[in-house]
Amino acid sequence: MIVRSNRPSRLAPACSLAFGLVALAAGCGSLPDQSRVAMTPEEAGGYRGSPAKPFGTLRQDLTAVELDRQDDGRYTLRAAPADGAPEFRDLDLRWFVPRVPALAKGNDTLTRVALMQREFNRNETKFGAVGEWAETKIANNCLRAGLWELVLEKKKDDGSTGMVYHGWFDFPLDHYAAVFQEANGMSFDVASAMVVSYPSFGGFKFPLEQLRTVTSEQVIAAGAIDAHLADALDRLPEQTRKAHLVMNPGIATYADYVAPANQPIRVAEFSEPGFYNLDRPCSFDLTWLAKPETIAWRSVKGVQAPTELQELEITYAGGKRLVIADEAIASLPIRTAAPTKESETSRLTFGIGTPDIYATLAERKAEVESGRANYLLLLDRDGNHLDNHSAGCDRVYLWRTASELHVYLIGYERMTIVSHLSIAWQTK
């Protein structure tokens, strides 16, 4: 049982929702070519609990964002008002708003899930050096539509980069609606209830049979699944940075995460406008992860788009079903040791074709152009869609050895790896 759900408390204020609906009703034909919105800098010394340690004192002189609208979802975005503030030209913002992937097109429920998960998962892109800054990042964060971030970094003596500015701004919802329509070819007022504020993620039937058809299947019983319960927790760089955000003491193994005596698992909430709030923890019961009963390994084919994927469905003792599918599973490289960084895994985020959380500009462009087919779902025993955020999980990382497939289930806000399963590698 969830002691306190974190996400539904993150609704946009009523005035923001009203503004969004007014903008949608008005349509996009009267959009101004130029807009200016306020930007709030992170405090000079950083905030308590931040996983990103400031590189010196954070700048406070960038307090606005100027937007020049072009065609086809493109903008010039400038920070202001300080001299030398970064400017991003010919920025394709269609990459930052939810898009309906080929696997979901033509089905209302699949479209709903795809759009919701694409808006309520972070979409951060690195743009590399811009002006005097060695690294620049823009993110559409996971809290509500239009809540975006700008990060600027300087080069350190060791060649790495460190954050010297972090600001939050509201991307105007009338512009957001226009970019959405340009990206999807559909009216934003159809999708507004799914993406403007946190929607209902659970309690409706998920049409899995409309997403894919099964061409072959092999079922693996519990005895052949290694849940690594006695193992020490695996940590990749993001989990190392965020380990202090997990508030339960003494969590050292995967068994500790699922032990009834350790529930609820408490972590810092990710709160508006986009920071980890140690004073407002959220809580999860992770005992459902203790007993994977079966894994079905399938070859499947998309219904809306005839793409071949491999799918794993992990069924747990309490009835929850984790469904993982990707066209790239069959081509996972063979590793001789566990990964030490995220790029050494294949990463899936909940939803249908949800973009990677973090990407360089080149990676984001390739992602959009390839349209890689994948999905990650949490269902109950009756096939109803469940809110994975309330269940305490955000992503899955896959990797393999010559003989095994390994599945890391990544917890809330990627603070920790909450489960590690491995099974014998199956050929197609």
**Cα 140 from Cα 146, distance rounded (Å):** 7
- How many angstroms separate the Cα of 367 from the Cα of each of 96, 125, 214, 353, 364? 12, 12, 26, 10, 5
Residue 283 has pLDDT above 80, yes or no: yes
The token pair that represents 125 in the structure block: 């892109």
The pLDDT confidence band at residue 30, using thresholds 50, 70 and 90, is confident
Looking at residue 8, its pLDDT comes to: 38
Q: Which of 391, 325, 311, 385 has the alpha carbon at shortest distance from 353?
A: 325
Looking at residue 427, its pLDDT comes to: 65
Residue 22 has pLDDT above 80, yes or no: no
Is the pTM for the entire model greater than 0.85?
yes
The pLDDT confidence band at residue 258, using thresholds 50, 70 and 90, is very high
Looking at residue 428, its pLDDT comes to: 55
Q: Which of 383, 15, 419 has the alpha carbon at shortest distance from 196?
A: 15
The pLDDT confidence band at residue 4, using thresholds 50, 70 and 90, is very low
The pLDDT confidence band at residue 426, using thresholds 50, 70 and 90, is confident
The pLDDT confidence band at residue 1, using thresholds 50, 70 and 90, is very low
Q: Are 419 and 409 in contact (CB under 8 A)?
A: yes
- Length in residues, the chain: 428
Give the CA-trace dihedral at 388, 393, 396, 402, to 10 degrees. -130
The three-class DSSP label of residue 40 is strand
Residue 11 has pLDDT above 80, yes or no: no
Q: Which residues contact 292 (CB under 8 A, 6 or more apart)?
A: 222, 225, 227, 314, 315, 316, 317, 421
- How many angstroms separate the Cα of 204 from the Cα of each of 12, 200, 372? 23, 9, 26
Comparison of pLDDT for 226 and 82, the residue scoring more: 226
The token pair that represents 327 in the structure block: 């066209």
